[in-house]
């Protein structure tokens, strides 16, 4: 886009008053000296968000700003611009009259594209400004359903078009399995390639975190995990099962003829819109080989602690302890509860040129610039313990250990903290207080735990409500069920302190959100957010630890000192309308 004149942008920013005149003058001089667009400097200094800048530019240019996050475009209008053109030029047709066509673009000054659309549609073109995230949302509406795409690949009868692949489901005449060459041939067969590509593309567009491909006696079930919930995506004919497995093994560089043992692999996919890593796990089961593929977007933007769900006292404690040069911060929760995201968010905050950050992980889920990341490889003797021992000789300031699984790793982490390092790690327990007895079980001396562990964060992930939602009071018959699990008076005081409700509102009068299902968001939920309890190891907690107190004793004292439990943090987010009470109770039911 031909950027707005710096003087023009400066004048509008002065009127808005978002940035101090002194800052604005300094940045204006810097932009002039380096011949840089003022807006770029504002983004670099994080004084304005990209969306705020785009809306301001749109206002200055007199062009409306369009956001497609919750807008359904008429199919006929959308397809006035072919998908290939829409992707290439980041342009979307979204509103049409008898004479006009409104199009959203990243660059409304691109006259050539506007003229091209005008000639092909014979309509007057009205350009509008949008951003790349909005374009991506709109491009999703071009996608065919999985059912339609597979009918095109397999035909209405479920028969594949192209090479005959039925022979791969049968053993050879002499009773042997298909050989490596036969499997490689079928893995490269066009229908199989299309099936796998389509499953992966749809998973990306649906924001799935995992793809499950599960062979049964008669067919193959494909399921996607979206926002933590598994749902059926497609049923494939059994005859394609071996071909799909073979194709994924080839993509993951695994042994194509190994059917008896589990295998783990990885592959990457890069397109104009996406850069995704895929972690593959293949497990032999009775009816064949089950595949689970974890999707790890590499182009995901970094999060802040507030964006992932921290707030209030919990946020302050995390910010306080990550600034300490020594000690241990532990994050706990079950698999898939967002522990890795929390650790990466903290590392992103700490990542600066004046510190050396080293990690030992299994697997490395996201690459981080300036962070030295090491992958565990047990088959060659590189375990968490041996890797951590080596890291300590690399002059680190901050160490991240993917998981404390055994006594050796726990003791090395304790020693690292004692010798002047900040150590971040995860551990599997159900609550923050349960972490301390777990360390005792690993053989760690109580006084060592008390002197090194600074903070324990327990967490779960809950689904966020989408933009559409309705507010209703709680049903009376549900109140007794909730009062069995929480102290109502304590929760109400907490909600009042956080100004979610006023001093006069009782628990019974709080309005709670419910999901409102739409065509774009069938469940009413979109994305997830964390609920947390943050346990600070205070002097009183240390005393309980040294006396080998129970998890209950630790939690009781922490609550007395003001710790908010995961359930209470969840109720706060439900009262704010971020999620639902039902979702909080589901996730914290353990």
pTM, rounded to two decimals: 0.73
pLDDT tens digit string along 516-556?
A: 887 677 888 989 999 999 999 999 999 999 998 899 999 99
Q: Is 205 helix (H, G, I), strand (E, B) or coil?
A: helix
Band of residue 590 on the pLDDT scale cut at 50, 70, 90? low
pLDDT tens digit string along 136-157?
A: 888 877 766 666 777 777 765 4
What's the whole-number mean pLDDT along residues 437-458? 94
pLDDT tens digit string along 303-359?
A: 789 999 999 899 999 999 999 999 999 999 998 899 999 999 999 999 998 999 999
DSSP 244-296: HHHHHHHHTT--TT--SS-EEEEEEEE-SS-EEEEEEEEEEETTEEEEEEEEE
Q: DSSP assignment, residue 65?
A: B
In this predicted structure, what is the pLDDT of residue 468? 65
Phi then psi dihedrals of residue 536, to 5 deg = -85, 130
Share of the chain above pLDDT 90, in %: 44
**Which tokens is 388 given?**
């951590």
Adjacent-strand bridge partners of 374? 360
Whether residue 28 is predicted with pLDDT greater than 90 in this model: the reply is no
In this predicted structure, what is the pLDDT of residue 144? 64
CA pair distance 400, 502, nearest whole angstrom: 42
CA pair distance 19, 32, nearest whole angstrom: 18
In which element (H, E) is residue 384 found? helix 384-391
pLDDT tens digit string along 290-305?
A: 999 999 887 666 678 9
Q: Is the dihedral of CA 177, 182, 188, 192 positive or negative?
A: negative
Looking at 466-571, which runs of residues are DSSP E strands? 469-473, 511-515, 525-536
Q: DSSP assignment, residue 419?
A: T
Band of residue 6 on the pLDDT scale cut at 50, 70, 90? confident
In which element (H, E) is residue 103 found? strand 100-105
Whether residue 127 is predicted with pLDDT greater than 70 in this model: the reply is yes
pLDDT tens digit string along 272-296?
A: 667 898 999 999 999 999 999 999 8
In which element (H, E) is residue 319 found? helix 312-322
Q: Residues of 409-434 as b/e, b for ≥16 C-beta within 10 angstroms?
A: bbbbbbbbbeeebbbbbbbbbbbbbb
In this predicted structure, what is the pLDDT of residue 3? 57
For residues 453 and 537, is the Cβ–Cβ distance under 8 A?
A: yes
**Angle between helix 312-322 and 339-350 (nearest 10):** 50
């Amino acid at each position: 886009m031909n950027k707005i004149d710096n003087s023009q942008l400066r004048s509008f920013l002065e009127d808005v008053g978002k940035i101090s005149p002194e800052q604005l003058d300094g940045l204006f001089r810097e932009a002039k000296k380096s011949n840089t667009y003022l807006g770029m400097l504002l983004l670099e200094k994080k004084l304005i968000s990209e969306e705020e800048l785009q809306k301001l530019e749109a206002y200055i240019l007199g062009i409306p700003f369009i956001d497609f996050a919750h807008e359904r475009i008429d199919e006929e209008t959308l397809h006035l611009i072919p998908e290939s053109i829409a992707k290439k030029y980041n342009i979307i047709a979204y509103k049409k009259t008898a004479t006009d066509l409104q199009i959203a673009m990243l660059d409304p000054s691109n006259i050539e594209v506007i003229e091209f659309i005008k000639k092909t549609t014979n309509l007057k073109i009205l350009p509008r400004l949008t951003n790349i995230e909005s374009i991506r949302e709109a491009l999703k509406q071009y996608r065919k359903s999985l059912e339609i795409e597979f009918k095109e690949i397999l035909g209405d009868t479920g028969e594949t078009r192209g090479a005959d692949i039925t022979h791969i489901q049968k053993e050879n005449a002499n009773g042997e399995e298909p050989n490596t060459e036969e499997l490689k041939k079928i893995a490269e067969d066009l229908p199989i390639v299309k099936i796998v590509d389509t499953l992966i593309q749809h998973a990306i567009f649906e924001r799935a975190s995992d793809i499950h491909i599960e062979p049964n006696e008669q067919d193959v079930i494909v399921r996607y995990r979206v926002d933590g919930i598994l749902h059926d995506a497609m049923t494939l004919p059994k005859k394609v099962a071996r071909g799909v497995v073979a194709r994924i093994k080839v993509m993951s560089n695994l042994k194509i003829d190994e059917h008896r043992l589990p295998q783990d692999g990885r592959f990457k996919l890069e397109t104009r819109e996406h850069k995704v890593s895929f972690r593959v796990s293949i497990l032999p089961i009775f009816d064949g080989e089950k595949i689970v593929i974890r999707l790890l977007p590499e182009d995901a933007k970094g999060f802040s602690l507030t964006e992932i769900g921290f707030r209030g006292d919990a946020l302050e404690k995390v910010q306080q302890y990550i600034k300490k040069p020594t000690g241990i911060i532990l994050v706990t929760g079950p698999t898939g509860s967002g522990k890795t995201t929390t650790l990466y968010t903290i590392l992103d905050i700490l990542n600066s040129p004046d510190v050396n950050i080293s990690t030992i992980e299994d697997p490395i889920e996201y690459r981080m610039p300036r962070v030295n990341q090491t992958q565990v490889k047990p088959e060659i003797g590189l375990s968490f313990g041996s890797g951590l021992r080596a890291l300590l000789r690399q002059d680190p300031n901050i160490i991240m250990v993917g998981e404390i699984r055994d006594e050796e790793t726990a003791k090395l982490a304790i020693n690292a903290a004692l010798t002047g390092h900040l150590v971040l790690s995860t551990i599997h327990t159900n609550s923050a207080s349960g972490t301390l007895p777990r360390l005792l079980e690993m053989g760690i001396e109580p006084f060592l735990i008390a002197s090194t562990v600074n903070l324990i964060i327990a967490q779960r992930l809950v689904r966020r409500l989408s933009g559409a939602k309705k507010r209703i009071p709680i049903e009376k018959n549900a109140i007794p069920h909730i009062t069995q699990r929480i102290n109502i008076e304590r929760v109400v005081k907490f909600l009042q302190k956080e100004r979610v409700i006023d001093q006069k509102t009782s628990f019974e009068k709080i309005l709670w959100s419910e999901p409102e299902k739409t065509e774009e968001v069938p469940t009413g939920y979109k994305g997830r957010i964390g609920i947390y309890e943050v346990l600070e190891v205070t002097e009183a907690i240390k005393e309980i630890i040294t006396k080998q107190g129970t998890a209950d004793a630790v939690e009781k004292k922490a609550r007395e000192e003001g710790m908010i439990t995961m359930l209470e943090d969840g109720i706060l987010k439900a009262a704010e309308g971020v999620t639902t009470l039902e979702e909080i109770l589901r996730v914290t039911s353990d």
